């Protein structure tokens, strides 16, 4: 029997083909019947372009219904879907294409020249455009394809998607997620969060990450009900659509931005059943303030690109501030010391996980994959956590050098290497500091070379330089200059000391 994720999702589509699946900003609807037909057209198109099972289909576009058809079409064709943040620039895209060697690359029209240049270098056979409104060559070609397609059978172990995640050292790694990885987690979450037939999700997350693409969309397609499909997070649109929604999923920044708006009231939330937060730590202050304002208790969960969702606060039981709840059914979680030995109850250690939702390894990096798993098959998350006496898990820090800003990951090493290469720079350190909007923001601490008088090397220039080269969210919000970086006796830069020194760079929000 085929274990293609699309078939599992499709088996739960409503019987009535006219039942709404997507409700768009102009109030028009896309039914489940149409979703099936459109995804068939995109699958037919991919096959006609020569896509074979296992071929990568790389995609760097804005969110639109057509981008969703493309994702589902790729699953149906047996291809491996490879989504990229549309903020990525030349340097980033070039690496992903040359590493993944996709057969097809779908880009925005404004990036066409770059896509052609980089695509040719990476041996991409077809480059097609999908614009921000869901039009362009790709959509026009798909429209000419038949609306019927027999989904290509896949085994659970076959790869459905590759999502790049950077490393604390070295190159970004493509996490390979199988049909089984994705299907297992979707079914668990759908059940755990008590989805009901009439649930309506307000979908505002981007669809190039696990949270918006897998967690949110898979839950809804399994539920066979409708979602407001909005191009981006926008407080005004939340206030308008929340009264007609029952479920919302967001990163903590979405919640702090909502709380900062006086129009966000208890009345707006009357129809709501569930607010879910993840991808970054939700501050207990935000959790409490939200409960006070709306009467709703945010359900916080924890996961990672490499393994989908690992833990969740309970749907029915007590949801505890500052915790990420319990391991999800099917996930075995342990907290270990540096020798991979379980720590004492309530002690801090690295979180390691095992289960069917954990990925199949890094694309083309068997060595790296081996390093990230223990001999007994646990995946090392690099997150530091503890389990309290009632079994609630909290994340207390990270063993990996990573900044999570507004739910997006920034790997300091990538930025430091770019700053260090600038003339006049001796060395630099990029750290995450508390930020009222993004939770954490990256700032750079730079040491000038002795012979540099500082006129050419200003913070503004460093920021302007980086903005031209890497996705904007990764660019440090501020640059500080210092005489030398603090080091321990081994010569390692002490980022903790820097975080203490520069930790109050941004003030806390007024409402909290």
**Among ligand MLC, ligand AMP, none, residue 281 binds (CB under 5-8 Å by kind):** ligand AMP
Number of residues that bind ligand MLC (CB under 6 A): 22
Task: Output 34 or 398, the one with its CB closest to ligand MLC.
Answer: 398
Map the footprint of ligand MLC across residues 8-47, applying CB under 6 A.
none
Of positions 215, 238, 404, 444, contacts ligand AMP by CB under 6 A = 404
The length of the chain, given as a count of residues: 512
What is the SS3 assignment for 368?
helix
End-to-end CA distance of the chain: 53
Q: How far apart are CA 380 and CA 119, in angstroms?
A: 34
* DSSP secondary structure letters along 41-60: HHHHHHHHTT--TT-EEEEE
Site for ligand MLC in 410-429 (CB under 6 A): none
- The binder of ligand MLC chosen from 102, 134, 167, 212 (CB under 6 A): 212
Greatest C-alpha distance within the chain: 73
For position 304 contacting ligand AMP by CB under 6 A, the verdict is: yes
Q: Which of 225, 381, 405, 428 binds ligand AMP (CB under 6 A)?
A: 381
Give the nearer residue to ligand MLC in terms of CB position, either 136 or 281.
281
Burial of 163 (0-12, 13-18, 19+ CB in 10 A): buried
Binding partner of 300, given ligand MLC, ligand AMP, none, CB within 5-8 angstroms per partner class: ligand AMP
380 interacts with ligand AMP by CB under 6 A: no
Positive/negative CA dihedral, 69, 119, 61, 439 = positive
Applying CB under 6 A, the span of 239-247, 346-354, 405-413, 491-499 interacting with ligand MLC comes to 405-413
- Smallest separation, CB 484 to ligand AMP (Å): 30
**Is residue 394 a contact residue for ligand AMP (CB under 6 A)?**
no
Is residue 44 at the binding interface for ligand AMP, with CB under 6 A as the rule?
Answer: no
Q: Is 67 in the site for ligand AMP (CB under 6 A)?
A: no
Phi/psi-derived region of residue 49, left when phi > 0, alpha when psi is between -120 and 50, beta in every other case? alpha
Give whole-number Cα distances, 110 to 67, 131, 157, in Å: 16, 8, 36
Name residues whose C-beta falls within 8 Å of residue 262's C-beta, 6 or more positions apart in sequence.
none
Residue 164, binding choice from ligand AMP, ligand MLC, none, Cβ under 5 to 8 Å by partner class = none
Q: At what angle do helices 32-48 and 65-77 cross, to 10 degrees?
A: 60
Tokens (6 digits) for 289:
């303030």
Written in H, E and C, the secondary structure of 421-432 is CCCCEEEEEEEE
Residue 13 or residue 214: which is nearer to ligand AMP going by CB? 214
The answer to whether residue 438 forms part of the interface with ligand MLC (CB under 6 A) is: yes
Contacts of 420 (CB under 8 A, 6+ apart): 427, 428
Q: Could you tell me which residues come within 8 angstroms of residue 344 by beta carbon, excluding any fewer than 6 positions away?
A: none
CA 435 to chain centre: 20
Per-residue binder mask for ligand AMP (CB under 6 A), 311-350, x = binder: -------------x--------------------------
83 scored as a contact of ligand MLC (CB under 6 A): no
Pick the binder of ligand MLC from 8, 70, 176, 210 (CB under 6 A): 210
Residues of the shown chain interacting with ligand MLC in the complex, contacts defined by CB under 6 A: 205-206, 209-212, 232-233, 251, 253, 278-279, 303-305, 405-408, 438, 472-473
Residues of the shown chain interacting with ligand AMP in the complex, contacts defined by CB under 6 A: 165, 210, 278-281, 300, 302-305, 324, 381, 383, 395, 398, 404, 409
């Amino acid at each position: 029997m085929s274990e293609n994720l699309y078939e599992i999702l499709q088996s739960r589509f409503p019987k009535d083909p006219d039942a709404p699946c997507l409700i768009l900003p102009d109030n028009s609807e896309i039914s489940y019947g149409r979703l099936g037909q459109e995804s068939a057209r995109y699958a037919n198109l991919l096959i006609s372009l020569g896509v074979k099972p296992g071929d990568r289909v790389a995609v760097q576009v804005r969110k639109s219904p057509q981008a969703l058809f493309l994702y589902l079409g790729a699953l149906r064709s047996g291809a491996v879907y490879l989504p990229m943040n549309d903020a990525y620039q030349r340097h980033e895209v070039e690496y992903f294409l040359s590493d993944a060697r996709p057969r097809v690359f779908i880009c925005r029209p404004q990036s066409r020249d770059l896509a052609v240049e980089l695509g040719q270098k990476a041996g991409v056979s077809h480059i097609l455009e999908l614009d921000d409104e869901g039009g362009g060559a790709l959509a026009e070609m798909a429209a000419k394809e038949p609306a019927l397609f027999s989904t290509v059978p896949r085994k659970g172990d076959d790869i459905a998607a590759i999502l790049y995640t950077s490393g604390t050292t070295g190159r970004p790694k493509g996490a390979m997620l199988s049909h089984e990885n994705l299907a297992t987690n979707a079914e668990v979450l759908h059940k755990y969060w008590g989805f009901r037939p009439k649930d309506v999700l307000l979908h505002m997350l981007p669809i190039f990450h696990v949270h918006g693409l897998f967690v949110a969309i898979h839950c809804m397609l399994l539920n066979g009900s409708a979602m407001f499909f909005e191009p981006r997070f926008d407080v005004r649109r939340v206030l308008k659509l929340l009264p007609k929604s029952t479920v919302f999923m967001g990163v903590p920044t979405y919640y702090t931005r909502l709380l900062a708006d006086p129009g966000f009231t208890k009345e707006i939330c009357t129809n709501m059943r569930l607010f879910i937060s993840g991808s970054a730590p939700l501050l207990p202050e935000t959790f409490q303030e939200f409960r006070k304002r709306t009467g709703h208790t945010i359900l916080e969960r924890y996961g990672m690109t490499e393994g989908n969702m690992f833990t969740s606060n309970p749907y029915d039981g007590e949801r505890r501030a500052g915790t990420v709840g319990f391991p999800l059914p099917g996930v075995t979680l342990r907290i270990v010391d540096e020798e991979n030995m379980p720590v004492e109850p309530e002690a801090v250690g690295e979180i390691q996980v095992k289960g069917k939702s954990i990925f199949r390894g890094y694309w083309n990096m068997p060595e790296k994959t081996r390093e990230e798993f223990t001999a007994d098959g646990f995946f090392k998350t690099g997150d530091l956590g503890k389990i309290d006496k009632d079994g609630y898990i909290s994340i207390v820090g990270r063993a990996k050098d990573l900044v999570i800003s507004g739910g997006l990951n920034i790997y300091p090493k990538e930025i430091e290497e770019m700053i260090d290469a600038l003339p006049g720079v001796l060395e630099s350190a990029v750290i995450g500091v508390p930020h009222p909007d993004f939770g954490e923001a990256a700032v750079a601490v730079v040491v000038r070379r002795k012979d540099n008088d500082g006129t050419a090397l200003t913070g503004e220039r460093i920021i302007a330089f980086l903005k031209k080269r890497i996705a904007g969210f990764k660019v440090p919000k501020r640059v500080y200059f210092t005489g030398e970086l603090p080091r321990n006796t081994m010569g390692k830069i002490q980022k903790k000391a820097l975080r203490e020194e520069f930790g109050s760079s941004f003030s806390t929000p007024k409402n909290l």
